[in-house]
Amino acid sequence: MTTSAKPLSVAVIGAGMAGRSHAAGYRNVNTVFGAGLPPIRLAAIADANVALGEDAARRYGYEKALASWEAVAEDPTIDAVSIVVGNALHRPIAQALIAAGKHVLCEKPLAGSLEDARAMAAWERTADVVTAVGYTFRRSPGIAAIRDHVRRGELGDLSLFSGRYWCDYATDPSGPLSWRFKGGPGSGALGDIGSHVIDVAEYVAGPIAAVSGASLSTQIPKRPLPLGAVVGHNAAPVSDEVGEVENEDTASFTARFESGLVGTFSVSRTAFGLPNGLAFDVVGLGGRAAFDQHRPAEYLFDDAQPDTRTRGARQIIAGPNLPYFAGGVPMEAPGVGASNGDNFTYQARAFLDQVAGVAEPLPACPTFADALRTMEIIRAVVESSENAGAAVTIPPVA
């Protein structure tokens, strides 16, 4: 098949843990769902670690590797860009890309500080480009299905949400002091993984009105300085010198949603034995649903079955019955699985659907304004923890 549509040129800034997922996502966008997107030109991957960038460009079929994000901003042929570097760099990169007229998919949390996030959300209001944020769990078929149950009222009036994101990537005290351990209270486990479970909670159960009872703690207060590049959560050669961990390893808090629903949240990067444990239960007066990222191709669903002998939670296995699955995987058979990589493809597709103005787009990506809200909630959690767990209200959704 030939097409005369002008290709859409994409680039990824950051070739680390999540950067490669974005790179793979763009590569796959025209293999999923309906036609409508123009051909995608995989223009460039930029990383300050040149060898890493070159390796990613080769693996995922990008035309070139660039040594700086500035080179992406300056390239007039590039239309749309993912920002997938440490959070403190999101603001300056987003500013330059928006000024250069490029569409931006920025990783979560929106920025390294609330002040930066507010500035970015302000630019979004006047920008003439698509501005989106990578809350990838929204693309998980099981999580999207649970949201649909809630929206159709199939759990009845909601009464409880219990969410956690427990990971073990910071359990080893000899792990390097990477960017993840810098930035002050709220930028540790809360910003890195708590932001995901807060976003999922609001996506599934609606807006949070207030938080209280917050407590933050750091189990490993000092870590060795890395001797070279650190990628993702990986171990790396370290020096004998140590530096201060500036943010929390663990946090917990209670939330009250605008609907009156009560929520409890627990987040940790030092949860031994749990590599990627985002899990939640959402409970109503007439049903319950539960998801666990360690079993990403299923969720549990329970409602009032008429026959009391067979009441209990049912295991719903991902297949064409779930959102994103039909047309979203090569083998559309129930039970073949659901992967984190697929979620990044759906996210990339949703972003480019918006950019290209596709007639029937995937559900839109969260905006900078949505992601600012998550940061406001994190700031409120920190404030609650600094005031003996006092309740802190969140401004209502505009």
Give the binding site for ligand NAD (CB under 6 A): 13-19, 46-49, 52, 68-69, 84-87, 89, 107-108, 134, 136, 192, 229, 231-232
Nearer to ligand NAD, 19 or 366 (CB): 19
Minimum distance, C-beta of residue 155 to ligand NAD, in the bound complex (Å)? 26
Nearer to ligand NAD, 209 or 362 (CB): 362
Minimum distance, C-beta of residue 287 to ligand NAD, in the bound complex (Å)? 28
C-beta of residue 362 within 8 angstroms of C-beta of residue 355:
no
CA proximity to 210, closest of 388, 392, 397, 396: 392
Minimum distance, C-beta of residue 353 to ligand NAD, in the bound complex (Å)? 18
Nearer to ligand NAD, 9 or 82 (CB): 82
Minimum distance, C-beta of residue 79 to ligand NAD, in the bound complex (Å)? 19
Minimum distance, C-beta of residue 290 to ligand NAD, in the bound complex (Å)? 20
Specify the DSSP class assigned to residue 193: I
First to last CA, the chain: 46
In the numeric block, which tokens belong to residue 299? 């969720």
Provide the b/e sequence for 330-339 (b: ≥16 CB within 10 Å): eeeeeeeebe
Nearer to ligand NAD, 86 or 207 (CB): 86
C-beta of residue 364 within 8 angstroms of C-beta of residue 127:
no
Nearer to ligand NAD, 41 or 138 (CB): 138
C-beta atoms surrounding 277 within 10 Å: 18
Strands 40-46 and 64-66: parallel
Nearer to ligand NAD, 58 or 151 (CB): 58
User: Quick one: which H or E segment has residue 124?
Assistant: helix 114-126
Nearer to ligand NAD, 91 or 288 (CB): 91
Minimum distance, C-beta of residue 340 to ligand NAD, in the bound complex (Å)? 7
User: What are the DSSP calls for 267-326, one per residue?
Assistant: EES--TT-TTEEEEEEEESSEEEEEETTSTTEEEEEE--SSGGG-S-EEEE-STTSTTTT
The residues that bridge with 106 in the sheet, in sequence order, are: 83, 133
Minimum distance, C-beta of residue 139 to ligand NAD, in the bound complex (Å)? 10
**Class of residue 181 by CB neighbours under 10 A (exposed 0-12, middle 13-18, buried 19+):** buried
Minimum distance, C-beta of residue 203 to ligand NAD, in the bound complex (Å)? 14
Nearest residue to ligand NAD on Cβ basis: 16
Amino acid at 79: D
d(C-alpha 93, C-alpha 82), whole Å: 10
Nearer to ligand NAD, 13 or 130 (CB): 13
